[in-house]
């Protein structure tokens, strides 16, 4: 009987962690909410995906700034946005499936840069 309650409790915890991780990828407001809720719980799965999402948001800001440059910036911004969309989808799929897998290309850097989160 105790094992059932322990497994139910851990399943609930995993579901909560996945919810925070998924929320981190859904808009910047979702990232802020996930970060605030993470500060109370301090679980590693949510922290991992918050780091990945934060890195993707910062890359999006950089792509936007590059897009302000006429012609070459527009081209770079277009292809950078497509790459960012791909990375975002990969991160979201990993969060939905409960995997702690970095997004391609920059994910390992995000883990290193934001290790204090």
Q: What is the pLDDT of residue 6?
A: 42
Q: What is the pLDDT of residue 11?
A: 56
Domain count, the chain: 1
Using CB atoms within 10 Å of the CB of residue 95, give its burial: 0 to 12 exposed, 13 to 18 middle, 19+ buried: buried
Q: What is the pLDDT of residue 111?
A: 80
Q: Domain range holding 9?
A: 2-113
Per-residue pLDDT of the chain (117 residues; tens, 9 = 90+): 444 444 444 555 566 678 888 888 888 888 888 888 877 777 788 888 888 888 899 999 999 999 999 999 999 999 999 999 999 999 899 888 888 888 888 888 888 888 777
- Tokens 């996945």 label which residue? 18
Rounded to 5 degrees, φ, ψ at 90 are -65, -45
């Amino acid at each position: 009987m105790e094992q059932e309650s322990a497994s139910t409790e851990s399943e609930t915890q995993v579901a909560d962690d996945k919810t925070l991780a998924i929320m981190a990828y859904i808009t910047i407001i979702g990232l802020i909410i996930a970060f605030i809720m993470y500060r109370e719980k301090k679980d590693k799965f949510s922290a991992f995906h918050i780091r990945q999402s934060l890195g993707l948001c910062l890359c999006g800001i950089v792509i936007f700034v590059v897009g302000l440059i006429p012609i070459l910036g527009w081209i770079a911004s277009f292809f950078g946005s497509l790459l960012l969309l791909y990375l975002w989808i990969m991160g979201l799929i990993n969060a939905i499936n409960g995997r702690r897998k970095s997004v391609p290309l920059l994910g390992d850097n995000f883990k290193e840069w934001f290790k204090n989160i």
